[in-house]
Amino acid sequence: MNFKIIKSYAKINLSLGVTGKLKSGYHTIESLISFLTLYDEIKIRKIKNKDHKIHFIGKFSKGINKNNTVSNLLKILDKNNLLNSQKYFIKIKKNIPQKSGLGGGSMNASSLIRFFKSKKILNFSKIKIANLTEQIGSDVKLGLDYKNKILFSNGRVKTSSTKKRLFVIIIQPNFGCSTKKVYKGVKKYSSKKVKNEKVDYFSFSNILKLQNDLENVVFKNYPKLIQVKSFMEHLPNILFARMTGSGSSILGYFLTKNSAIYAAKIFKKKYKNYWCITSKTI
């Protein structure tokens, strides 16, 4: 049987505010979320085997733990016999860096859930799908479609009809950031800035007013990133530069493709050892 091919797109946080901490230890956050044309390639096919087979290949596949979002998803589905005892061979080409804030692992799980739904293997209500995603990771629910989303601090997610065509350069240094460690370092919380559901939060004027609160923690531990962001902010025609998620990737945003390509060339001359590519929002 031939492989089915799935594109698992990168997630970005145009903004991220940490508004508090729950008794459970998890933080409450608010965020504007979009997606890029950068993607991991997932190949999947049925196999006659006792167990699933999961292989990671590609530039950013090194060091992926055996217990990952994809294996966890399959374990949950098997435990509840939702795959009807069918096993799968899943090969994932990792084009999205690990520990970059681009949600690669979470989006892999989201993409597989979308695939199983499209094949009528999972005939779930929205509530059951939400419960499933929460068992795997808090970001998984965000990738069930690739529309812009507003995440409110109470956990509610609203899809935005606003489309922003932005071109980006993605900068990934030669190190990653541990999400757990970064959140542990958060000592101050922001007031809620994303709370009125009628506001067009994806307007340029609003995006520019917001920030990523986690930059304060990450830059303190990785001061090289302050220099990177500062350099990026002086690139020609850049709208703004901002870290995504808990890092370590920083993105520069542009209105045109040529501006992004030219900026990437300038950056690569300065930082030859950092991964730098261009992409655009979906």
SS3 label, residue 52: coil
Active site residue 139: yes
Q: How big is the chain by its Cα radius of gyration, in Å?
A: 19
Contact at 8 Å (CB) between 42 and 15?
A: no
b/e per residue 177-215 (b: at least 16 CB within 10 A): bebeebbeebeebbeebbeeeeeebbeeebbeebbbbbb
Active site residue 145: no
Cα–Cα distance between 87 and 74 in angstroms, integer? 9
Strands (E) in the chain, as ranges, are: 4-21, 27-47, 53-57, 87-93, 149-151, 157-159, 167-172, 240-243, 250-254, 275-280
Catalytic residue among 93, 99, 139, 149: 139
Look-up of token digits 């939702």: 82
Active site residues: 11, 139
